Amino acid sequence: MKKQFAVIGLGRFGGSVCESLAKQGMEVLAIDTDEDKVSKFANIATHAVVANTTDENTLQSLGIRNFDHVIVAIGDNIQSSILTTLMLVEQGVKSITVKAQNDYHEKVLNKIGAHRVVHPERDMGIRIAHNIVSKNVLDYLELSDEYSIVELMAGKKVAGKSLVDLNIRANYGCNIMAIKQGEEINVSPNADDFIQQGDILIVIGADTDIQRMERSLF
């Protein structure tokens, strides 16, 4: 059976989540208090309804507890976001993801039992900042406060060298998870695989180690 999702709040973030889920063939119920937003999603989502999710009876009549995953994408109205989340938790929704507006909002959401809290503006800001500071950093994914995965563009310094030549794990404590060469991706590179200029290296490691490697090799 297809997984059933509900997206509450059809702003830019919620709207984009909703559209992407629908494109992946999922069943999506789109919910917003704003009639115009709802009608915009009538042809995108499986169902689109005008509803205020801070009302317990409304949530119940939507059968919200039967959904596999509910995404709360109410941003500016923090009170509505918290109230909605609390009621989803109380109704026993199995998986609840909520967009947080700031750190305090995030703290409250975690306390009341949201299963996952996302911070898209902050996270995208961090990724873009890494990309702006170093033109070799193409993308950046924070795994924790100390560890990340980065995509680095190979320049002249590493071109024509193998992983053992560069001795990356031994020298920097980082692992190259994959090497992208045009359309081809080598997902388990060996010590004797060569790097060419323009290759994209996907590296996992501690931030301090990745920075050390970036400074001397990229």
Chosen residue from 9, 14, 15, 75 binding Ca ion by CB under 5 A: 75
Measuring CA to CA, how many Å separate 75 from each of 170, 182, 183?
Answer: 45, 39, 38
Please report the beta strands in the chain, taking only residues with DSSP state E, as ranges in sequence order.
Answer: 4-8, 27-32, 47-50, 69-72, 96-99, 116-118, 137-142, 147-153, 161-162, 175-181, 184-186, 194-195, 200-206
Is 205 among the residues that bind ligand ATP (CB under 6 A)?
no
Is 14 among the residues that bind Ca ion (CB under 5 A)?
no
Cα–Cα nearest to 140, from 61, 207, 71: 207
Chosen residue from 17, 18, 45, 163 binding ligand ATP by CB under 6 A: 163
Taking the C-alpha atoms of residue 8 and residue 56, their distance in angstroms, rounded to an integer, is 14
From the list 3-11, 40-48, 85-93, 128-136, the region that binds ligand ATP by CB under 6 A is 3-11
Is 47 among the residues that bind ligand ATP (CB under 6 A)?
no
Cβ at position 1, least distance to ligand ATP in Å:
26
Chosen residue from 18, 29, 31, 150 binding ligand ATP by CB under 6 A: 31
Cα–Cα nearest to 176, from 203, 194, 151: 203
The one of Ca ion, ligand ATP, none whose footprint includes residue 37, by CB under 5 to 8 A per kind, is ligand ATP
Is 191 among the residues that bind ligand ATP (CB under 6 A)?
yes
The one of ligand ATP, Ca ion, none whose footprint includes residue 140, by CB under 5 to 8 A per kind, is none
Percentage helix, strand, coil, to 5, in the chain? Answer: 40, 30, 35
Residue with tokens 């929704």: 93
Is 187 among the residues that bind ligand ATP (CB under 6 A)?
no
The one of ligand ATP, Ca ion, none whose footprint includes residue 131, by CB under 5 to 8 A per kind, is none
Binding site for ligand ATP (CB under 6 A): 8-14, 31-34, 37, 52-54, 73-77, 80, 163-164, 167-170, 175-176, 189, 191
